[in-house]
């Protein structure tokens, strides 16, 4: 039994981007941690997720020595395009605010993070199930879990809940202290990965009377496209032919003409939701990333928020171990939430602006939506505000 008892400073539950980056940042501060992940390493490394890194997030990754492959394999984009009324409106980040984003898949970043954990010899206990927490109101919490048929217990000073949208750690914040905020959007995104060159050299977010579409990419030979579908759609409702027809229809004709299609190599249906749970901490448990908040993918903020949360949390833990003061840990939740809500607002705004809301929007709402797009087209001030939010609020 003693063999299955470990002691560490911070037990990190969840080995997605939030958990693995946190463990790495803590190591840079000389703080030990163990990462407990439910899935297998290969499963986590194979997940296809979004791929837009904000300006400040990219800088942070470089500053901590994780920027090398991002800079070699990623693409700097100086702007993004909104399609409506048959043409493109470019939001020129570089010209408006001297910022950019980096197109680099979360899948690639996850690989970089696991490589960094391996190099730093930080334990990643994958295939760990049935995580339970004890004693988070005291000074020596424990994390218990099953791994390969055996029960393990980790004693620690702090627990980081980085276990994503279906995680268990948020349940340890008492309901009486917890307040949740939610908005469900009445549609889904259908996404495909296509082994073809991207239709455009920058992203295109399209508002069409029949619904939203997005043209994104992974590299010169690999494109990522999305179209808005109905709330109850499944992957089977979207054979490739229907997907490509719908996408073409929703793009400006001159763009659609250059679209290269092929049999898709990955297809997903994803619901859209805004969700925030406050506070992000209780006792010695601190939540970060999707475990605490969800944004719809419009605006690609999910990964960036996971990174800003763990950046704040690593600073606060570093201060605690350096000075003994828990002050920064006590303000972690407020500090993280203040940035989270700005991204929640922006993702909600972009979702409202770009989608068709069947049964919700009437003619008035559609006029307002169209007017907002025309306002962006006509006002540099409006474009600058959008650029600032898309390229990312400061950390
Ligand atoms: N025990 C251990 N690990 C768990 C448990 C559990 N009970 N439940 C979930 N996990 C793991 C998941 O398998 C996943 O690998 O926690 C990890 C959470 O990772 P993500 O879902 O990637 O969330 P996060 O690290 O917060 O990153 C947020 O990921 O979902 C995207 O769009 C989102 O880009 C955003 C980013
Ligand atoms: C993606 O490339 O998968 C992607 C890009 C931008 C988004 C969402 C997803 O807003």
pLDDT at 122: 98
Q: Is 49 in the pocket of ligand 1 (CB under 6 A)?
A: yes
Residues 251 and 218 in one domain: yes
Nearest to 155 by CA among 139, 170, 168: 139
Residues 156 and 232 in one domain: no
pLDDT at 225: 98
Q: Please spell the DSSP secondary structure of 340-359, one letter per residue.
A: HHHHHHHHHHHHHHHS--TT
* CA 51–ligand 2 middle distance (angstroms): 6
Residues 198 and 328 in one domain: no
Domain coverage including residue 211: 185-272+356-390
> Ligand 1 atom 15: the closest Cα is on which residue?
16
254 part of a folded domain: yes
Longest dimension (CA), the chain: 69
| Ligand number with the minimum distance to the CA of 106 | 1
Q: Is 264 in the pocket of ligand 1 (CB under 6 A)?
A: no
94 part of a folded domain: no
215 part of a folded domain: yes
> Ligand 2 atom 4: the closest Cα is on which residue?
50
Q: Is 13 in the pocket of ligand 1 (CB under 6 A)?
A: yes
Question: In ligand 2, which atom is closest to the CA atom of 103?
Answer: 2
Residues 121 and 233 in one domain: no
Look at the chain and report how many structural domains it folds into: 2
72 part of a folded domain: no
CA distance 312 to 284: 16
56 part of a folded domain: no
pLDDT at 47: 87
pLDDT at 4: 84
Report the relative pairing of strands 266-278 and 33-36 from DSSP bridges: unpaired
Question: Looking at the annotation, which residues are catalytic?
Answer: 77, 205, 297, 301, 390
97 part of a folded domain: no
| CATH code assigned at 224 | 3.30.9.10
Question: In ligand 1, which atom is closest to the CA atom of 297?
Answer: 32
Residues 116 and 165 in one domain: yes
Question: Could you count the other beta carbons within 10 Å of the beta carbon of residue 395?
Answer: 15
Question: Could you count the other beta carbons within 10 Å of the beta carbon of residue 248?
Answer: 17
Tokens of 25: 């940042």
Residues 38 and 126 in one domain: yes
CA angle, residues 42, 47, 12, in degrees to nearest 5 = 70
pLDDT at 3: 54
CA distance 242 to 109: 32
Q: Is 303 in the pocket of ligand 1 (CB under 6 A)?
A: yes
Residue 363 DSSP label: H
Residues 239 and 339 in one domain: no
Residues 239 and 225 in one domain: yes
* DSSP-assigned beta bridge partners for residue 89: 82
- Say what the pTM is: 0.96
Question: In ligand 1, which atom is closest to the CA atom of 291?
Answer: 26
341 part of a folded domain: yes
Residues 368 and 346 in one domain: no
- What are the per-10-residue average pLDDT scores of the chain (395 residues)? 80 98 98 98 91 96 98 97 97 98 95 98 98 97 97 98 97 97 98 97 97 96 97 98 98 98 96 98 98 97 98 98 98 98 98 96 95 98 98 93
Residues 377 and 341 in one domain: no
| Ligand number with the minimum distance to the CA of 74 | 2
Residues 295 and 197 in one domain: no
Question: In ligand 1, which atom is closest to the CA atom of 106?
Answer: 34
68 part of a folded domain: no
* CA 201–ligand 1 middle distance (angstroms): 30
Q: Give Cα separations from 243 to 119, 209, 351 (angstroms).
A: 42, 16, 20
| CATH code assigned at 337 | 3.50.50.60
Pocket test for ligand 2, best of 52, 188, 355 (most atoms within 8 A of CB): 52
pLDDT at 49: 85
Residues 251 and 207 in one domain: yes
């Amino acid at each position: 039994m003693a063999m299955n008892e470990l002691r560490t400073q911070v037990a990190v539950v969840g080995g997605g981007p939030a958990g693995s980056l946190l463990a790495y940042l803590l190591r840079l501060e000389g703080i030990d941690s163990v990462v407990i992940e439910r899935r297998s390493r290969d499963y986590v490394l194979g997940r296809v997720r979004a791929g837009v890194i904000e300006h400040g997030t990219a800088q942070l990754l470089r500053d901590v020595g994780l920027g090398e492959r991002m800079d070699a394999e990623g693409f700097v984009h100086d702007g993004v395009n909104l399609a409506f009324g048959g043409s493109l409106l470019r939001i020129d980040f570089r010209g408006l605010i001297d910022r950019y984003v980096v197109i680099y898949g979360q899948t690639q970043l996850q690989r970089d993070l696991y490589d960094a954990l391996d190099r730093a010899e930080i334990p990643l206990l994958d295939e760990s199930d049935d995580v339970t927490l004890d004693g988070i109101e005291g000074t020596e919490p424990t994390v218990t879990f099953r791994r390969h048929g055996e029960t393990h217990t980790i004693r620690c000073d702090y627990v980081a809940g980085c276990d994503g949208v279906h995680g268990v750690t948020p349940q340890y914040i008492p309901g009486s202290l917890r307040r949740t905020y939610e908005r469900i959007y009445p549609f889904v995104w259908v996404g495909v990965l296509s082994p073809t060159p991207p239709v455009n050299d920058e992203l295109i977010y399209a508002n069409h009377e029949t619904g939203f579409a997005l043209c994104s990419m992974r590299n010169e030979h690999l494109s990522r496209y999305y179209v808005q579908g109905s709330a109850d759609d499944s992957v089977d409702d979207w054979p490739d032919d229907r997907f490509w027809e719908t996408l073409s229809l929703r793009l400006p004709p001159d763009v659609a003409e250059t679209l290269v299609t092929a049999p898709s190599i990955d297809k997903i249906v994803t619901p859209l939701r805004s969700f925030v749970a406050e506070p992000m901490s209780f006792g010695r448990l601190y939540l970060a990333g999707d475990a605490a908040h969800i944004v719809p993918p419009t605006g690609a903020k999910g990964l960036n928020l996971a990174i800003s949360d763990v950046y704040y949390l690593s600073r606060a833990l570093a201060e605690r171990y350096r000075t003994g003061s828990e002050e920064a840990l006590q303000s972690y939740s407020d500090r993280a939430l203040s940035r989270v809500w700005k991204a929640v607002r922006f993702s909600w705004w972009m979702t409202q602006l770009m989608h068709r809301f069947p049964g919700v929007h009437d003619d008035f709402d559609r006029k307002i939506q169209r007017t907002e797009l025309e306002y962006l087209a006509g006002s540099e001030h409006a474009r600058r505000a959008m650029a600032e939010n898309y390229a990312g609020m400061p950390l």
